[in-house]
Amino acid sequence: AQSVTQPDIHITVSEGASLELRCNYSYGATPYLFWYVQSPGQGLQLLLKYFSGDTLVQGIKGFEAEFKRSQSSFNLRKPSVHWSDAAEYFCAVGAGEGAGGTSYGKLTFGQGTILTVHP
Amino acid sequence: NAGVTQTPKFQVLKTGQSMTLQCAQDMNHEYMSWYRQDPGMGLRLIHYSVGAGITDQGEVPNGYNVSRSTTEDFPLRLLSAAPSQTSVYFCASSYRQGNSPLHFGNGTRLTVT
């Protein structure tokens, strides 16, 4: 069964500082990987996704993530955090190519990391 | 472009009451799903559907029923509400392709007293 671990429940950074949110996954083959962001009282918005190819993927709002197969990781990074980035971030894993039609969309989410940004 | 619409936004139930959470999408997505979000547990899949007339259980299906009579709608029914079902519920949809990301509604916050 697939699983996702986000080791950090809560991270605090200063505005302008760099950010890295950790994500480790468990999946038998090459998975589809996603990062979502959730602002208070809102649904989840897709930041970026990895399916195949280049292991460094760019997303919206200046975020990027790197897929490292050897470490089973998909960490999210941003070089300079803005106050508006304060939110909860979720890493998710889904069945990869060839897994079968009924597997698609069945994402498994991590526990989430709450990001606080100090001015 | 409405995307995924969930109603109601908030609901309070007494133990034993029943209700239906509504979800509709206008993107012609084949795949629809329901998640519940609880603090420190991320989102957990309740039920999902890969097309009209086809539904299946996710990770935490007990106490919930679903049906999919149309492509657009995927209601979630609580037959006899319990305090353990106090949660925030999200509906999501996507194309039935592995590289199609989920689109989420804004959630329904349910409290069972």
| A45 in contact with B, Cβ within 8 Å | yes
Burial code (b: 16+ CB inside 10 Å, e: under 16) for A44-61 equals: bebbbbbbeeeeebebee
Q: Which of A80, A92, A91, A90 is nearest to A117 (CA)?
A: A80
Residues linked to residue A78 through DSSP beta bridges, in sequence order: A19
Is residue B8 exposed (0-12), middle (13-18) or buried (19+ Cβ within 10 Å)?
A: exposed
* Helices and strands: H and E segment counts in chain B: 0, 11
State how far residue A4 is from chain B, nearest Cα, in angstroms: 10
Query: Chain B residues with CB inside 8 Å of A102's CB?
Result: 50, 56
Contact B100 A104 (CB under 8 A): yes
Q: Which residue has the tokens 């962001």?
A: A37
pLDDT score of B69: 96
pLDDT-wise least confident of A60-74, A89-103, B18-32, B46-60: A89-103
Q: Which residue has the tokens 């309740």?
A: B46
Q: What is the pLDDT of residues A34-54, one digit of tens each?
A: 999 999 888 899 999 998 888
Is residue B76 over pLDDT 90?
yes
φ/ψ (deg, to 5) at B15: -55, 130
State how far residue A35 is from chain B, nearest Cα, in angstroms: 10
Q: Which residue has the tokens 């329904």?
A: B108
Question: How far, in Å, CA of B63 to CA of B43, rounded?
Answer: 17
Is residue A100 over pLDDT 60?
no
Count other Cβ atoms within 10 Å, centred on residue A77.
Answer: 14
Query: Chain B residues with CB inside 8 Å of A110's CB?
Result: 42
What is the biggest distance separating any 2 CA atoms in chain A, rounded to whole angstroms?
Answer: 47
pLDDT score of B96: 78
pLDDT score of A101: 52
